[in-house]
Structure 1
Amino acid sequence: KITVDLPDFKGRARILGVHARGKPLEPDVDLEAIARRTPGFSGAQLENLMNEAAISSARAGKSTIGWEQIDGAVDRIMVGLEKKGGTANLALKQNELVAYHEAGHAICGALIPDYDQVQKISIVPRSNGAGGLTFFAPQESRLESGMYSKQYLESQLAVALGGRLAEELVFGEDFVTTGASNDIQQVANIAKRMVKEWGMSKDVGLVALQTPDSGGPFMGREMGTPRTKWGSRIMGTVDAEVERLVNNSYLTAKKILSENRDLLDHLAKVLVEQEVVSAEEFQMMLVEFGSKTIQYEVVGEERNREKLPFQGMPAAASL
């Protein structure tokens, strides 16, 4: 089996240059800017991007390819086609809920240190089932190295919970929706791996409870330790540590959105009105509401006395 690495920034720019031949671009379309927007894209996806943009331009009766066509092609490759009718087929209340959910993700991502940049926020439903999406541009160095710090992973947890927190703050706990199901699954998976695979818990320590070949709990089999003995000694601590990580991130997201409620309301309102908010528009909002320089860090080890939604959560092994 031959493994081909994904192209880096310079590689993507060169590949885009090859596939842009014979395709007239508008003067403001820069191949390097497209390359910066497409970390993680393969050569085949970049070829598809340029072809999709050319087809979209032709359908619009244009002789050149503009940013509108490029953006549309990137979105289709990443998350599928827009559903016909966009948000017009949805009730206003549903649009508002999706708008607040996505605004929660975006604001948490923007106000946590050293997190990925918000690229675009959209409430347009997609063919893959997504009701809305917040696009983040991952840092090139993280993608290339495949290495993620504990701080970054904790930030991921908080950003993923931002959508659910926004629903809760605005509509109340009794009116949260299933829209956060994928977010909650992502949070559970990351928190479990931090504790069980990556040694990111002081209480559990540098112990691997998963092995690449088994695909399941290690439980001491390779060391001759009885499975039940290992489980009773450590798995209770694992559960508590997963719960702690998730709850700390929940509190971080809640603090950010509670203290920036005006920004949350404004961003959601604009999303309902125009469906999509660009990175540039979002940055202007952060400046307008005085939020750009506010930076939060994921809260510390001590358990907050506040009642938390993930207390007594299921065992980490079965999340």
Structure 2
Amino acid sequence: MKEVKPPKKSYLYYYGIILLVIILLNAFVFPTISGRYVKDVDYSTFLDMVENNQVAEVEIENNYINFVPKDANDKKMYRTGVIEDPDLVDRLHDANVKFTKIVPRELSPLMTFLISWILPLLIFILIGRYLSKKLGDRLGAGGASPMTFGKSNAKIYVEAQTGITFADVAGQDEAKEALQEIVDFLHNPSKYKDIGAKIPKGALLVGPPGTGKTLLAKAVAGESKVPFFSISGSEFVEMFVGMGAARVRDLFKQATEKAPCIVFIDEIDTIGKSRNAGGYGGNDEREQTLNQLLTEMDGFDPDKGVVILAATNRPETLDKALLRPGRFDRRVPVELPDLRGREAILRVHAKKVKMAGDVDLNAIARATPGASGADLANIINEAALRAVKFGRNIVAQEDLEESVEVVIAGYQRKNAVLSTKDKLRIAYHEVGHALVAAKQTHTAPVHKITIIPRTSGALGYTMQVEQDEQVLMSKEQALDKITTFMGGRAAEEIIFSSITSGASNDIEQATKIARAMVTRFGMSEKFDMMALETVNNPYLGGDTTLLVSSETAAKIDEEVLSIIKSCHEKAIQILEDNKDKLHEITKYLFEKETITGEEFMDILTGKTTA
């Protein structure tokens, strides 16, 4: 059983305890001397007690007179202030009071100097170091003093720590081939120098998130067996102006000392943005850091074996000076893997997991078009977690297929309660998609239909899986895709003569395809091959910007609407012509909740009956 540790108490809790202890000490311990409580009295009371022979002993200090009464039952010690009284000694002598004067011990000149000058200075230095450490922690300097703020935070991985080679990177054969030359140069620089060739100073890895850019950089270092410096672009940018430039200088200084080596700058777009696009002034910290990076890349000799690798998913924002020959000479695309690449990636990650002998990774690869390497690794891990959840020690095909659906649509909402009416409507909606897809020529086969709600918000979905990798999309395929998206709403209109919000995502996807056909694919007779829209950030969402006037934009909307209406009418016609099958398949899906593509096609072709 895992031990549950109690939460740590805040510093205010301990400060409160210390304050309470001090108060108790002041109240009960410090006011006592030799077990007696100290009572302050005025000087006249002291004289009266002396004359009445009530004082047993007196101690005279510089500022106070402490005296003890003769009464054994009186446990208090009395104290009064010192007043100029020349007759005090005579009074005490006449009253037979034992008295003494306490003279403070004088310190030597050396001790006085140490206490007065050296001790305060030491205390000041210790406080300064403490505050400096706290400031360094707040600013991300790792507890360093302000004198070390210019030091680079680059992590150094040696061969024994990385242990990553090109064998660990799958699905990126072209990228590995482009980087193999760098590895070969670091191993055999002489054959390049003999012919007069120079290795590229830097290589820029460009691609969507999760495609393995950082993994490729580590693999280059692992294959080369040289030190590997890794730093993120954001670590150069701090609150102090000039610190980023200082860290760039320090990074290249360290790299030169440890050459041959590889320096990897992740997310270089943080400091490498175009100086005309950022809108910041000439003294901006980011611009100073970029200028220093450009200077350092010009200044070092590539023959020493220092290779700069950088990664970004926003190459369009980088400064042109950073991309010119002599700096980042080579641009290496790290794109989303194709069908063969996805299968290879799945096999790499499957080696770390116990798999059943009949697992078909090719089927999983075909079901995940557009998935990155990180997505595929997550699918394998989710399958392993599901196998453990159901008490198995190996991963089966059903675990992998369910993990694909988890990544695409989320987990099943088994506790979601749907009314019979809503459940029936969702069943007709999904069968409408599947039936329209099956009755068209340029669509992918139906793989699965389900009406079990998912955590992503989907109340059901129809999964289609291409038999082969699709690189291009024809106009006919685009129109058939839109028509398939319209199938769900069309089924609701035919059966229930009403519409719901369930087709919102279908409408969004269909509109995107129709708009792309008109503005970017040149699939509209009205606009022919005119470029009407450009894509921004293709690796991060693909936002678009119109390149036309408002009048042309209105005509674009009319053309997009015409395409959607035409596909909507086609979907309705397909379902009207196959209304009996729509009812039959929906009844079967309503009872089973989930059916395979084979079951769907058997009912549709008449091989079996629902």
TM-score bucket (shorter structure):
0.7 to 0.9
Distance 1:166 1:72 in 2: 27
SS at match of 1:6: coil
2:335 is equivalent to residue 131 of structure 1: no
Distance 2:520 2:338 in 1: 28
2:399 is equivalent to residue 69 of structure 1: yes
Contact 1:102 1:163 in 2 (8 A): yes
2:482 is equivalent to residue 153 of structure 1: no
In structure 2, the CA distance between the partners of 1:276 and 1:193, relative to structure 1 (3 Å rule), is same
The corresponding residue for 1:277 is 595
The corresponding residue for 1:309 is none
In structure 2, the CA distance between the partners of 1:8 and 1:239, relative to structure 1 (3 Å rule), is closer
Q: How does 1:169-184 map to 2 (within 5 A)?
A: 169-172=494-497, 175-184=498-507
- Normalised TM-score (structure 2): 0.42
2:356 is equivalent to residue 26 of structure 1: yes
Amino acid at match of 2:493: E
2:439 is equivalent to residue 116 of structure 1: no
Q: Percent of pairs identical after alignment?
A: 37
Distance 1:238 1:64 in 2: 54
Shift of residue 252, structure 1, vs aligned partner: 1.3
Distance 1:131 1:201 in 2: 34
Amino acid at match of 1:194: M
Amino acid at match of 1:76: V
**Aligned with residue 338 of structure 2, among 8, 13, 20:** 8
- Normalised TM-score (structure 1): 0.78
1:23-42 Cα distance to aligned partner (Å, 9 max, x none): 33334322223223222222
SS at match of 2:447: strand
Shift of residue 101, structure 1, vs aligned partner: 0.5
2:556 is equivalent to residue 245 of structure 1: no
2:431 is equivalent to residue 99 of structure 1: no
Structure 2: any 5+ residue segments left out of the alignment? 1-204, 208-333, 537-542
SS at match of 2:546: coil
Q: How does 1:156-305 map to 2 (within 5 A)?
A: 156-172=481-497, 175-212=498-535, 215-219=544-548, 227=549, 231=551, 234-235=552-553, 237-288=555-606
In structure 2, the CA distance between the partners of 1:186 and 1:30, relative to structure 1 (3 Å rule), is closer
Amino acid at match of 1:85: N
2:373 is equivalent to residue 48 of structure 1: no
Whichever of the two has the greater Rg, that structure is: 2
Shift of residue 139, structure 1, vs aligned partner: 5.6
Shift of residue 154, structure 1, vs aligned partner: 0.8
Distance 1:34 1:64 in 2: 17
Amino acid at match of 1:41: A
In structure 2, the CA distance between the partners of 1:17 and 1:212, relative to structure 1 (3 Å rule), is closer
1:132-178 Cα distance to aligned partner (Å, 9 max, x none): 11112246432xx3x32111111111001000000000001xx2101
Structure 1: any 5+ residue segments left out of the alignment? 220-226, 291-319
Contact 1:263 1:289 in 2 (8 A): no
In structure 2, the CA distance between the partners of 1:26 and 1:168, relative to structure 1 (3 Å rule), is same
Distance 2:343 2:599 in 1: 26
Shift of residue 289, structure 1, vs aligned partner: 7.1
Contact 1:203 1:237 in 2 (8 A): no
2:80 is equivalent to residue 80 of structure 1: no
Distance 1:6 1:137 in 2: 18
Distance 2:337 2:529 in 1: 33
Distance 1:131 1:255 in 2: 25
In structure 2, the CA distance between the partners of 1:41 and 1:210, relative to structure 1 (3 Å rule), is closer
Contact 1:121 1:134 in 2 (8 A): yes
Structure with more strand by fraction: 2
Contact 1:209 1:217 in 2 (8 A): yes
The corresponding residue for 1:300 is none
In structure 2, the CA distance between the partners of 1:22 and 1:190, relative to structure 1 (3 Å rule), is closer
Contact 2:437 2:443 in 1 (8 A): yes
Shift of residue 22, structure 1, vs aligned partner: 4.8
Distance 1:265 1:55 in 2: 38
Contact 1:104 1:162 in 2 (8 A): yes
Contact 1:119 1:278 in 2 (8 A): yes
Shift of residue 238, structure 1, vs aligned partner: 3.1
In structure 2, the CA distance between the partners of 1:48 and 1:236, relative to structure 1 (3 Å rule), is closer
Amino acid at match of 2:206: I
The corresponding residue for 1:302 is none
Amino acid at match of 2:444: D
Stretch deviating more after TM superposition (157-166 or 22-31): 22-31
SS at match of 2:454: coil
Structure with more helix by fraction: 1
Shift of residue 127, structure 1, vs aligned partner: 0.9
In structure 2, the CA distance between the partners of 1:289 and 1:165, relative to structure 1 (3 Å rule), is farther
Shift of residue 126, structure 1, vs aligned partner: 1.0
Distance 2:401 2:559 in 1: 41
In structure 2, the CA distance between the partners of 1:236 and 1:20, relative to structure 1 (3 Å rule), is closer
Contact 2:427 2:586 in 1 (8 A): yes
Distance 2:346 2:469 in 1: 20
* Number of equivalenced pairs: 272
